[in-house]
A and B are shown apart, each in its own frame.
Chain A
């Protein structure tokens, strides 16, 4: 069956521009997670959705970052006024209840 998909796979943008990253979870998965992996570093949690609500936004690094989920399906992570330190691979994962998390291939964001 289809796994988690993310788009775009690569995004190059100029400092100060806004970007939107999309995640399509596995159909029926109730939980959706966004993580970030900067070059040479471990994965850091950004935000988690249960259904369409986000009980845990504690990982969002600043108010330039926001995310939404609609229809208990697609999620969009938006970064406003991008900075060079936002350059990273943004990974999305989904899970069914408390079961294992399945990851998408990621979006590589480069801010020039």
Chain B
């Protein structure tokens, strides 16, 4: 059974700092690994999707990597801004199956 863990649970950084959010998963037979952002009281916004054949994806200041052999993914945020403050969720699935979510990392970027 797939389990997804995210560390740290919460993170506070000053504006402008580069940061890394970590995600680990127990079953390396994943098809998709997806990173989401959730703002308080809102739904989930998909940030990046990495398919199993890929090693990383980039979108603007965000870069996500995937290492299936070690069961890890990282989300790198460059030059953080207060608007980046949110909860970041990592989730994995195997093909057309439900995503298994981590509990998230709550990020606060202080101006």
Contact = CB atoms under 8 A, between A and B. Distances in A.
A56 interface: yes
Given A98-B32, A101-B34, A105-B42, A43 B95 contact: no
A102 B46 contact: yes
B72 interface: no
B86 interface: no
B33 to A, nearest CB: 10
Given A42-B104, A43-B89, A101 B99 contact: yes
A105 B41 CA distance: 9
Nearest to A101: B99
B43 A50 contact: no
Interface string B14-47: 0000000000000000011010100001111110
Contacts of B68: none
Nearest to B46: A100
Interface string B36-72: 1000011111100100000000000000000000000
Interface of A: 31, 33, 35, 41-43, 45, 48, 50, 56, 59, 91, 93, 95, 97-106, 108
B32 A45 contact: no
Contacts of A98: 31-32, 95-96
Given A42-B101, A43-B101, A91-B43, A100 B96 contact: no
The 4 A-B residue pairs whose C-beta atoms are closest, nearest first, are A100-B49, A45-B98, A103-B44, A105-B43
A91 B98 CA distance: 12
Contacts of B91: 43
Contacts of B100: 45
Contacts of B49: 99-100
Contacts of A59: 98
Contacts of A102: 46
Nearest to A100: B49
